[in-house]
Homo-oligomer: A and B are copies of this chain.
Amino acid sequence: MTGTRQLTAQGLERKQQLFDAAAQLFAEQGYAQTRVVDIVDAAGVAKGLFYWYFENKEALFRELAADIRHKLRRTQRRAIDRNAPALAQIAQGTVASVRFMSEHASFFSLLEVEGRNVADALRRGTEQHLQDVKALIVAGQEDGSVTTDDDADLLALAVVGAVGQFSHFHRTGRVDLSLDELANYVARLVVRILTADEQVARQSIKQALRPPRR
Q: Is the CB of A192 within 8 A of B187?
A: no
Q: A48 contacts the other chain (Cβ, under 8 Å)?
A: no
Q: Residues of B contacting A201 with CB < 8 Å?
A: 188, 191-192, 195-196
Q: Residues of B contacting A208 with CB < 8 Å?
A: 84-85, 87-92, 187, 191
Of B81, B166, B172, B188, the residue contacting A205 (CB under 8 A) is: B188
* Main secondary structure on A side of the interface with B: helix
Q: A189 contacts the other chain (Cβ, under 8 Å)?
A: yes
User: A175 to B200, alpha carbons, bound, how many Å?
Assistant: 25
User: A200 to B195, alpha carbons, bound, how many Å?
Assistant: 7
Q: Residues of B contacting A8 with CB < 8 Å?
A: none
Q: A74 contacts the other chain (Cβ, under 8 Å)?
A: no
Beyond the given A90-B208, A158-B165, A189-B193, please list 4 additional residue pairs across the A-B interface where CB-CB is below 8 A: A87-B208, A161-B166, A192-B193, A195-B196
